[in-house]
Every structure is written in structure tokens, then in C-alpha cells.
Amino acid sequence: MLKEKIVEEIRENGFITFDRFVEICLYNKEFGYYTKKRTKTGLGEDFVTAPEVSESFGKTLANYLEKRIMELSLPLKILELGGGKGFLAKDIVETLSPENYTVLEVREKPGWLKGVNWVKSLKEVEPFEGVVVSNEFFDAFPFKRIKKINGELREVVVKERDGELYEDTIPFGGKIPCQIGEGEEYCLFIGWEEFLKELSKKLKRGLFLTFDYGGKCSEIAGKKSFKAFRKNRLVEDYLKYPGETDLTALVDFDYLSSTLEETGFTVERVTHQSSFLLENGIEKFIEPGKVPQALMLLVDMGRKFKVLEATRAHSR
């Protein structure tokens, strides 16, 4: 199983870096948390996301996109990053009937989802003008955990003893984009830059919107950023059940913004999810009997989640 594969890889070098550990746990073809074949593809896994909580999320977003697409004279072409179980795609497609809606997702396409293209790699996406949207995509990249110990930056690695996994640290030679204090930890996502460079080649002109949980560097530094979830609960024993536990971290929106700027986007604003939903008329889209779910989007998730909006001017 996955643990044996990890132990085998550790035995080659004595350890694996934490980002490699996350990559195997989430995306190993056979046993990865996101990529393994599931018997159940509905709700009730280890996390519930905004599009799964209530249709009002996707419909409010669609309402906003319609307005911005007109303002920016963009074609109604949408690329969704990390579409998961397809709920956001369904709500946007039902509301906007776009010319083209493509979902980039390593998981299998849900059988019930109609009217969307489903691709597993950005290579399959033709350059286009339009919109790129995502919810909880950038927090699903592998990440390093960097700690400050005795004034030095060290990275967490995973080692094994008698087939059991444990954490250790080694010196970290790189830099982190956010200052941390003694004993604090920063989660450094790996691969954003490479991904966004590729994306900026595909999005010739348009709008980019992403929702995620996290905040500015000053808001997240010193907070417990790394989180592991299993069966809907926050757990500590994530080393025992690789592939069955979702591993994630808070998104540093300052770092995400600077990476977007470096790769050809212009960041327009970062705001709370709750403000975004209220400004864009969520009350019109709340289904009868679903007020508690909409409140969850506004109150509970509403302050923890942010939305970043960026634009991409014409590129050749």
C-alpha cells in the first residue's frame, strides 16, 4: 500500500522532503488521496467545500462573472482549476450556458456532469481569452514545512524506523517569502510559479478569480498553517494513514499575489469571501430551506476564506 511505497522511497535516501510526502499522499496514481478510485464520489468526505455546501456560492459567482465578462468584453469561455466533484461547474454552466467550460482536474469526471470538457493537464488546454476560476485549488499543491529553530530555517522531512514514519528536520537552504519568529512554521507551496507560468501562456487575456482559506503573510505567520483531515476531523496522526488523510495548509495571499504578478497577471484585489458574496447578491440565490448552508458560507467560511481577483492584459 501507500505506506510501503513511502518507506521504500525513504530507504533510498534516508528521508523524503515534506513536499514530496504530500505529493505522494495526495496524488499517487493508485493510492493518492485525490487520485485513488473511490467507491463513493458524493458529499461527506474529509472536507466540504463552498460549492458543495450550497448552490448559492456558484450562482453568485456566475452572476459576478456575467457582469465582468461584459465589462471586459470577454468571450464566455471559462476554465476551472481543480474542479473536484463538479459542483461549481454545474452551477456556473446552468446559470451562464458558456460557449466553453473546461475543468482541469486530475480526478475522474463525475458521470452525471454534462456540458463541460474535462482535462487532466494544462497541456490539453488551447490558448484562449476568457475567465479562469477556482476554489481551494492553490491549497492542494504540495508544500514544504519550514521551521525557525535556534534562529535557523529548517525544513521538515519524513523518515522511517522499522516501517513506521516520523518527522525530523534538516537545514533549509532556500528562502521563504514571509518572516516567521522563533519556533514558528511557514508552509511554502511548491509549484505555484511553474503552474502560473503555464497558465499565463494559456490565458491570452481575461479574468482570474480564486477562493481559498488563508490570508496575508502577517495574518498567517505564527498560526498553525498545516492541517490534516480524516473522516471530517482534524487529526494529528497523519503519518499513520497516508493516502487516507487530506493534507493542506493556509494560503499566503501575499505570496500568491506576487507569484501572479511575476507570471504576467495584475492583481486587482483580495477580499473576504463573505464580502464578495454579499456584494454580489447571494440573497437572491439562496434556495428555500438552505439558509443555514448560506450562512455557513458567509459566517464560518466567510471570514476564513478570501477571494483574489486578477486580470491578464493582452499577451502575444
* Binding residues for ligand SAM (CB under 6 A): 34, 49, 51-52, 82-85, 104-107, 135-137, 140
Q: Would you say 23 or 254 has its CB closer to ligand SAM?
A: 23
Q: Would you say 115 or 183 has its CB closer to ligand SAM?
A: 115
Residue 241 burial by CB count (10 A; 0-12/13-18/19+): exposed, middle or buried?
Answer: middle
CB of 222 to ligand SAM, least distance (A): 24
CB of 93 to ligand SAM, least distance (A): 15
Q: Would you say 72 or 106 has its CB closer to ligand SAM?
A: 106
Q: Would you say 57 or 265 has its CB closer to ligand SAM?
A: 57
CB of 84 to ligand SAM, least distance (A): 3
CB of 42 to ligand SAM, least distance (A): 12
| Residue-wise burial string across 121-131, b where 16 or more C-beta atoms lie within 10 A, e elsewhere | eeeebeebbbb
Query: Contacts for 103-112 with beta carbons within 8 Å, 24 or more apart?
Result: 103/79, 104/79, 104/80, 106/27, 106/34, 106/35, 107/34, 107/35, 108/37, 110/41, 110/85, 110/86, 112/86
Q: Would you say 56 or 148 has its CB closer to ligand SAM?
A: 56
- Residue 90 CB coordination number (10 Å): 21
- The conformation of residue 236, written as its DSSP 8-state character, comes to S
Q: Would you say 41 or 169 has its CB closer to ligand SAM?
A: 41
Helices (H), the chain: 2-13, 18-27, 50-53, 55-71, 87-96, 192-202, 217-220, 253-262, 273-279, 291-295, 301-304
Strands 266-272 and 305-312, how do they pair?
Answer: antiparallel
CB of 51 to ligand SAM, least distance (A): 5
Q: Would you say 52 or 185 has its CB closer to ligand SAM?
A: 52
Q: What does residue 198 show for φ and ψ, rounded to 5 degrees?
A: -65, -40
CB of 107 to ligand SAM, least distance (A): 5
CB of 161 to ligand SAM, least distance (A): 31
- Residue 200 CB coordination number (10 Å): 18
Residue found under cell 494560503:
251
